[in-house]
């Protein structure tokens, strides 16, 4: 995070685009489906998505340290990650178990930055193939 701060980027620039796309650009199709199963079917609160995001950033630390400009950051956000989903989920679960009782992140809906214009969210930049392939 310090590296991103030195470049002048906050969570809105380096984290929100990943969440907005719901990690669809960051995992292969089967891993993305497993992630959605894990998010939707496990007995955890929606706040677990925050821990997955933090774990994803931790597991991609090396790649994020290579970012030197906004184009590099955009490329990282639109590219399938080298991080294994199992490692991301294991890290997220450890973080959740350790910090969820002492770290209140508010209600999940309060953390979503709603845009002020008619459309609440920006259009997808591109639709991942696995969403439109039948």
Residue span of the structural domain in which 74 resides: 2-109+123-132
* Domain presence at residue 115: no
Under 8 Å CB-to-CB from 120, ≥6 apart: which residues? Answer: 114
* Domain presence at residue 7: yes
Q: What is the pLDDT of residues 4-57, one digit of tens each?
A: 888 888 888 888 888 888 898 999 999 999 998 888 877 666 778 889 999 999
Q: How many domains does the chain have?
A: 1
Locate 70 and state its tokens. 């906004």
CATH of the domain at 79: 1.10.472.80
How far is it, in rounded angstroms, from Cα 63 to Cα 69?
13
CB-CB contact of 33 with 39 (8 Å): no
* Domain presence at residue 26: yes
* Domain presence at residue 114: no
Q: What is the pLDDT of residues 65-88, one digit of tens each?
A: 888 888 888 888 888 988 899 999
* Domain presence at residue 118: no
* Domain presence at residue 24: yes
Under 8 Å CB-to-CB from 17, ≥6 apart: which residues? Answer: 74, 77
- Return the DSSP state at 45: -
* Domain presence at residue 68: yes
* Domain presence at residue 73: yes
């Amino acid at each position: 995070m310090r590296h991103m701060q030195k470049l002048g980027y906050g969570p809105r620039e380096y984290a929100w685009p990943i969440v907005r796309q719901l990690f669809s650009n960051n995992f292969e199709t089967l891993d993305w489906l497993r992630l959605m199963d894990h998010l939707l079917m496990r007995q955890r609160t929606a706040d677990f998505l925050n821990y997955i995001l933090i774990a994803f950033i931790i597991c991609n630390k090396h790649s994020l340290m290579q970012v030197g400009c906004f184009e590099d950051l955009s490329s990282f956000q639109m590219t399938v990650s080298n991080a294994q989903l199992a490692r991301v989920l294991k890290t997220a679960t450890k973080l959740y178990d350790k910090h969820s009782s002492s770290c209140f992140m508010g209600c999940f809906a309060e953390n979503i930055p709603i845009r002020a214009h008619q459309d609440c969210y920006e259009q997808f930049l591109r639709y991942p193939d696995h969403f439109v392939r039948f």
